[in-house]
Amino acid sequence: MAENHEEPLTCSMWAAADNLQLCYTALPQLKNYYRYGKWKDCTPLREELFFCWSLRSMPAAAAQAAMRARAEAKDHAKFKQRPSLDVWELRTEPPPNFPPRV
pLDDT-based confidence at residue 100 (cuts at 50, 70, 90):
confident
What ranges do the domains of the chain cover?
33-70
Answering whether pTM is above 0.75, one says no
Distance CA 40, CA 23 (A): 8
Q: Enter the DSSP assignment of 56.
A: T
pLDDT tens-digit readout, 5-52:
678 889 999 999 999 999 999 999 999 999 889 999 999 999 999 999
pLDDT tens-digit readout, 64-76:
999 999 999 999 8
Instruction: Quote the pLDDT of residue 85.
Output: 59
pLDDT-based confidence at residue 84 (cuts at 50, 70, 90):
low
Instruction: Give, for 78, the enclosing helix (H) or strand (E).
Output: helix 60-80
> What single-letter amino acid sits at 70?
R
